[in-house]
A and B are shown apart, each in its own frame.
Chain A
Amino acid sequence: MAAHSESIIREPLITGKDITYAKITNDILRPVENMPGRAWWIGFTIASLGASLWVFAVSWTFWYGIGEWGLNKTVGWAWDITGFVWWVGIGHAGTLISAILLLFRQNWRNSINRSAEAMTIFAVICAATYVVSHMGRPWLAYWPLPLPNQFGSIWVNFNSPLVWDVFAISTYFSVSLVFWYTGLLPDLATIRDRATGIRRKIYSVCSFGWTGSVKTWQRFETVCLILAGISTPLVLSVHTIVSMDFATSLEPGWHTTIFPPYFVAGAIFSGFAMVQTLLLVTRKVLGLENYITMFHIEAMNKIILLTGSIVGVAYLTEFFIAYYSGGEYEQYTFLNRFIGPYWWAGCMMYGCNVLMTQLMWFKKIRTNIPISWVLSIVVNIGMWFERFVIIVTSLHRDFVPSSWAMFYPTWVDMSVFIGSLGVFFTLFLLFIRVFPSIAMAEVKLILKSSSEQAKKKLLQHGGLDQEQVEFYKEALVPFDSVEIADYEKL
């Protein structure tokens, strides 16, 4: 229908021939309705081994205490907080895709939002485990909550960023969960109506009795829009507050006013890199190349380039302000990142985050899948080192030179970190087995307007600006799921 068609110069968001509503359902539900393949089992085995390592290392920490980690009097925060901030940051991309891109009406979010939101939830779970395990006495984890108690009541200090963080992270997690699950309801109903026996019963309970009537859809869309509206400032507030854990202290290298925007940009940067890492593999293994297309990959790479460059500007600003402030300690801290004993961590941070991302200026690199995948991992390594540099390198040489120390991680530190990766991937692999990894209803919504076949229909219909048609065809060249030869005939 003419009313639906969008301009020919926009790249298609769904490629492939003869895509019908039924085919979308079949394609996306294939991993859910069938036994998983060998790739899934190999991944799941490795991931669950990692998760077991995590259980072991965290139990060890609970039993013997924080002393089992490599912390010392000078470096009292190290891998735990590094891991915490890293995971929370990774979570941010999911909310950006599901909320901010919804507000901006970016239709390409429709095929990646579901798995990105799932990734958010699993990443925040990983982050939360660090918070609990670094408490030392995790059975008292409820102490930061404002509960009446027998000490007075003595209340929590609402002036403290650490208490704000408790509120921010718990709100972020629960709101993301509500957003994700509400969005899942229609798709769970699809599985339910196709399933039989016990699977049908389970999905029946999970889908809350969804029918897809007009009023339900209308309310559903209102709920999603408002959730997107409130999640947008929420996600910005979360990493702002995480950064205030550092920025409100008096530690050189930490107490800078640039931290909130700098952390938020870094969070989105690392989150998109993780989405890219996961989706490039997922689309291949699950055969979803028609729904997660080269356009999606390139768009995400552009966001990585943008946020990576913002992070680069923030780094430069930090150095300039350290120099310009004239503060001796501030200047030393920043110089120490390059000439101190942790120079290699600084090089990893600046090299991976700023230099490597600049490669994304080239379209050849943005549309090259293996290189994009490697770069996305490089970004995640770089972002881990960023947090390590900010935390450990700032702490390890404090105001009194006699207490200068190095941080050496123990096997427990390393196992908790590697294990948290295991937990994350285990959860993600389970997710793609039991839930549709792409929001089917939302992809169906754009089938008539933004699919390749709709564009072909436009071309066949004719009457288009020839220059725009050429532009469109040229844009399709890097797509791995499009047969360019078809366009010769049109």
Chain B
Amino acid sequence: MSSTKYILGLFDDPDEMMHGIDELQKNSIPIYDVYTPMPIHGIERKLGIKESRLGYAAFMFGCLGGTTIFSMAYYMLVHDWPMNIGGKPAFAIPDFVPITFEWTVLFTAFGMTATFFYATHLFPGRTPRVMDLRATDDRFVIAIDAKGNIPHEDITNLLKKAGAVEVKHNDRKYVSYE
């Protein structure tokens, strides 16, 4: 049995890579993942990846931020220590609008980005799990799990025919661990 773990099809053009995905799918070869140096629009639908739900997280964090600061202002200026400012009401809602807005934005930004980092496993110092070092530069890489997907030669030929400039048979999943 061969020691190949992953087969990588390296393309130098995003359109040819999309064509490669089509070819693989036509032949019922499952794709493990695709690594690109830039976002490719329309690829999610092709690979059947669901829409991101980060928008919901952002909305919830925004609600949390707005509620937090508004409650704080209410507690501080109305409940705990109401001040007499020219006899005007302590519960001056219009005056609370700017801070409520600012914290809504603040919580949305930080909460959503933190959720993104958490869900995608991004954090400072995380070991990069890179399959090919040029995938962040100028190569559009389709990765295929070699296990169970045989014969490897057919996959190689398929990728080459679709326009891959190079096909790699990697014995290790990630090349970036040294």
Contacts and interface: CB of A to CB of B under 8 A. Distances in A.
Q: Do A and B bind each other?
A: yes
A404 interface: no
A227 to B, nearest CB: 6
Main DSSP-derived SS at the A contact region: helix
Contacts of A396: none
Nearest to B140: A21
Main DSSP-derived SS at the B contact region: helix
B120 A214 contact: no
A1 B105 CA distance: 40
Nearest to A223: B116
Contact of B38 (A164, A167, A230, A444): A444
Contact of A217 (B40, B73, B113, B131): B40
B52 A214 contact: no
A22 B138 contact: yes
A219 B33 contact: no
Interface in B124-150: 124-131, 133-138
B136 A189 contact: yes
Nearest to B72: A146
Interface residues of A, number: 67
Contact of A175 (B55, B109, B126, B128): B109
Contacts of A204: 125, 127-128
A155 B110 contact: no
Nearest to B97: A164
Contact of B135 (A212, A231, A237): A212
B33 A205 contact: no
Contact of A21 (B12, B130, B133): B12
A233 interface: yes
A483 interface: no
B136 A218 contact: no
Interface in A203-222: 204-222
Interface of B: 12, 14-15, 33-40, 43-44, 47, 49, 52, 54-55, 58, 62, 72-73, 76-77, 80-81, 83, 85, 92, 95-96, 98-99, 101-103, 105-106, 108-110, 112-113, 116-117, 119-131, 133-138, 176
Given A164-B102, A186-B136, A193-B176, 11 more contacts: A22-B137, A167-B102, A167-B103, A175-B106, A175-B110, A192-B136, A212-B136, A219-B52, A222-B55, A226-B54, A444-B37
23 contacts: A21-B138, A22-B138, A25-B137, A155-B80, A158-B96, A167-B102, A175-B105, A175-B106, A186-B37, A190-B137, A193-B128, A193-B136, A204-B127, A207-B128, A209-B125, A209-B128, A214-B36, A219-B119, A220-B116, A230-B62, A231-B109, A237-B101, A441-B39
The 7 residue pairs across chains A and B that have the minimum distance between CB atoms: A209-B126, A21-B138, A155-B76, A22-B138, A208-B122, A164-B98, A217-B39
Interface of A: 1, 4, 20-22, 25, 146, 152-159, 161, 163-164, 167-168, 171, 174-175, 178-179, 182, 185-186, 189-190, 192-194, 204-223, 226-227, 230-231, 233-234, 237, 241, 440-442, 444-445, 448
